Amino acid sequence: MSTVSLTLQPRPIDPSVDHEIQAIVAGSGTGSTCNTDLAAGPWDFDARPGYGPGASMGDVIPTGAPRQPQLPQEYRDASDEELDARIRAAKQTLGDRVVVLGHFYQREEVVRHADYVGDSFQLANAAKSRPDAEAIVFCGVHFMAETADLLSGADQAVILPNLAAGCSMADMASIDQVEECWETLEDVFGDMDTPDADGLLPVIPVTYMNSSAAIKGFVGRHGGIVCTSSNARTVLEWAFARGRRVLFFPDQHLGRNTAKAMGVPLEQMPMWNPTRPYGGTDEATLRDSRVILWHGFCSVHRRFTVDQIAQARAEHPGVEVIVHPECPMDVVDAADSAGSTDFIRKAIAAATEPTTFAIGTEINLVQRLAAEHPQHEIFCLDPVVCPCSTMYRIHPGYLAWVLEALVAGTVLNRITVPSSVADPARVALERMLAAKPAGAPA
Ligand code: SF4
What's 49-72 look like in SS3?
CCCCCCCCCCCCCCCCCCCCCCCC
Nearest to 169 by CA among 335, 324, 27: 324
Q: 362-366 contacts: CB < 8 A, separation 24 or more?
A: 362/104, 362/105, 362/300, 362/387, 362/388, 362/391, 363/17, 363/387, 364/15, 364/17, 364/104, 364/105, 364/106, 364/107, 364/108, 364/111, 364/388, 364/391, 365/104, 365/105, 365/341
Q: Are residues 76 and 146 located together in one domain of the fold?
A: yes
Q: How many independent structural domains does the chain possess?
A: 3
Amino acid identity of 59? Answer: D
pLDDT digits (tens, 9 = 90+) for 101-160: 999 999 999 999 999 999 988 898 898 899 999 999 999 999 999 999 999 999 999 999
Q: Are residues 179 and 291 located together in one domain of the fold?
A: yes
Does 377 reside within a domain? yes
Residue stretches of the annotated binding site for iminosuccinate: 103, 120, 208-210, 229, 324-326, 341
pLDDT at 47: 83
Q: Are residues 234 and 277 located together in one domain of the fold?
A: yes
Q: Which of 61, 123, 141 to mutate to test the pocket of ligand 1 (most atoms within 8 A of CB)?
A: 141
The total number of residues written for the chain in this structure? 442
| Contact criterion met (CB below 8 Å) for 428 and 220 | yes
Nearest to 209 by CA among 434, 432, 436, 437: 432
Does 51 reside within a domain? yes
- Rounded distance from Cα 268 to ligand 1 centre (Å): 27
- Rounded distance from Cα 249 to ligand 1 centre (Å): 14
pLDDT at 8: 46
Locate the ligand 1 atom nearest the alpha carbon of residue 210 and give its number: 3
Give the largest Cα separation in the chain, rounded.
69
pLDDT at 4: 41
**Under DSSP, is residue 200 helix (H, G, I), strand (E, B) or coil?**
coil
Locate the ligand 1 atom nearest the alpha carbon of residue 170 and give its number: 8
Helix (H) or strand (E) holding 88, with range, is helix 80-94
Q: Mean pLDDT, consecutive 10-residue segments, the chain of 442 residues?
A: 44 84 94 96 91 96 92 98 98 98 97 95 87 96 96 95 97 97 97 94 98 98 96 97 98 98 98 97 98 98 98 98 98 98 96 97 97 97 97 97 98 97 97 82 52
Q: Are residues 344 and 398 located together in one domain of the fold?
A: no
Q: Are residues 62 and 83 located together in one domain of the fold?
A: yes
Last residue of a domain, one of 282, 297, 312: 297
| Contact criterion met (CB below 8 Å) for 200 and 183 | no
Which range of residues forms the domain containing residue 288?
171-297
Does 250 reside within a domain? yes
* Separation between Cα atoms, residue 178 and residue 279, nearest integer Å: 11
How many CB atoms sit inside 10 A of residue 78's CB?
Answer: 17
| Contact criterion met (CB below 8 Å) for 70 and 43 | yes
Q: Are residues 137 and 50 located together in one domain of the fold?
A: yes
Q: Are residues 270 and 191 located together in one domain of the fold?
A: yes
Q: Are residues 250 and 176 located together in one domain of the fold?
A: yes
Task: Check which CATH number belongs to the domain holding 335 and give it.
Answer: 3.40.50.10800
Last residue of a domain, one of 243, 273, 297: 297
300 pocket-lining for ligand 1 (C-beta < 6 Å)? yes
Does 64 reside within a domain? yes
* Separation between Cα atoms, residue 260 and residue 291, nearest integer Å: 10
Residue stretches of the annotated binding site: 103, 120, 167, 208-210, 229, 298, 324-326, 341, 388
Q: Are residues 54 and 146 located together in one domain of the fold?
A: yes
* Separation between Cα atoms, residue 97 and residue 156, nearest integer Å: 10
Does 367 reside within a domain? yes
Which residues touch 88 (CB under 8 Å, ≥6 apart)?
Answer: 113
Does 357 reside within a domain? yes
Q: Are residues 28 and 48 located together in one domain of the fold?
A: no
Last residue of a domain, one of 257, 276, 297: 297
pLDDT at 128: 86
Does 435 reside within a domain? no
Phi-psi region of 429 (alpha: psi -120 to 50; beta: other; left: phi over 0): alpha
389 pocket-lining for ligand 1 (C-beta < 6 Å)? no
Q: Are residues 232 and 338 located together in one domain of the fold?
A: no
| Contact criterion met (CB below 8 Å) for 297 and 329 | no
Does 432 reside within a domain? no
Q: Are residues 160 and 55 located together in one domain of the fold?
A: yes
pLDDT at 439: 65
pLDDT at 124: 82
